[in-house]
Amino acid sequence: MIEYIVPTNIDDRILNRAAAALKNGGLIAHPTDTSWHISCAFSSSLGLAKLKALKDGAKGYLFTMMASEISQISYIAEISTPQYKLMHSLTPGPYVFVLGARRTLKKIMGMKRKEVGIRIPGDPVSRAIIETLGEPMFSTTAAHSMDDPGWWDTGFADENLFEMGWELEGIKGIDMILDGGEALSKTLTTVLNLTGERIEIIREGLGEYIE
């Protein structure tokens, strides 16, 4: 179901319906400060199972936790003072930060993960959904080849991404699409691995980073 919105002034009734769907285990497709994403509520095991299904069981895939504030992820990821300072300087924005995962993540996800991707988006739609929901979301980029964990590294990433919200109607399992009615740029986040002694750029995307 498509809900047409004004991204900078979203009807509270639509946000409440989106939050209710997420809490009940649903998946929401929404624009971000890069490309379209599909998300579930952080606390919903049913929603996470549906998201895993889109990723072919999530084998070899690093799930991203989307939050509105860094403080929301402190109990799920290990964050040192230097890591916090870097994240604080770059967020909100089009970045995913790979951090060491705490043991609580395994309990929530039902699978062992040493690392977790963290994103603090800068777009108004993602932030409004999270704030209305009252918790972070697990999220994945909407793409034609989502079941391939390395689809973005093929040199044809833009061909895998969507422009318009209505294009996502063909993805099974999505309960609601929040659509601003305009084409979204086919761009990806910059992914920074912060778990080593030096910061590693896993993927260069929209976010600028100079070592």
Confidence band, pLDDT 50/70/90 cuts, at residue 1: confident
Q: Which pLDDT tens digit goes with each residue over 148-160? A: 666 666 566 778 8
Q: Report yes or no on 136 lying in a domain.
A: yes
Q: Rounded to an integer, what distance in angstroms lies between the CA atom of residue 151 and that of residue 129?
A: 27
Mean pLDDT, range 171-180, rounded to an integer: 94
Mean pLDDT, range 99-114, rounded to an integer: 74
Residue written as token pair 């793409």: 143
- In sequence order, the 6+-apart residues with CB closer than 8 A to the CB of 13 are none
Q: Which pLDDT tens digit goes with each residue over 23-63? A: 999 999 999 999 999 999 999 989 998 998 887 755 656 67
- Give 36-89 as a DSSP string: -EEEEETT-HHHHHHHHHHTGGGTT---EEE-SSGGGGTTTEE--HHHHHHHHH
- In sequence order, the 6+-apart residues with CB closer than 8 A to the CB of 71 are none
Mean pLDDT, range 88-100, rounded to an integer: 95
- Give 115-184 as a DSSP string: EEEEE---SHHHHHHHHHHTS-EEEEE-BTTTTSTTGGGSS-HHHHB-SSGGGGGGSTTEEEEEE-SSPP
Q: Report yes or no on 18 lying in a domain.
A: yes
Per-residue confidence (pLDDT) for residue 155, from 0 to 100: 61
Percent of the chain with pLDDT over 90: 63
**How many domains would you assign to the chain?**
1
CATH classification of the domain holding 158: 3.90.870.10
Q: Report yes or no on 209 lying in a domain.
A: no
Summary mean pLDDT of the chain? 89
Q: Report yes or no on 66 lying in a domain.
A: yes
Per-residue confidence (pLDDT) for residue 101, from 0 to 100: 84
Q: Report yes or no on 184 lying in a domain.
A: yes
Q: Report yes or no on 154 lying in a domain.
A: yes
Q: Rounded to an integer, what distance in angstroms lies between the CA atom of residue 106 and that of residue 182?
A: 38
Mean pLDDT, range 138-156, rounded to an integer: 75
Q: Report yes or no on 180 lying in a domain.
A: yes
Note down the domain range covering 8: 2-203
Per-residue confidence (pLDDT) for residue 115, from 0 to 100: 85
Question: Does 181 have pLDDT greater than 70?
Answer: yes
Question: Does 16 have pLDDT greater than 70?
Answer: yes
- 198 and 21 Cβ atoms separated by less than 8 Å: no
Among 117, 134, 137, 189, which residue's Cα sits nearest to residue 29? 137
Per-residue confidence (pLDDT) for residue 58, from 0 to 100: 54
Q: Report yes or no on 137 lying in a domain.
A: yes
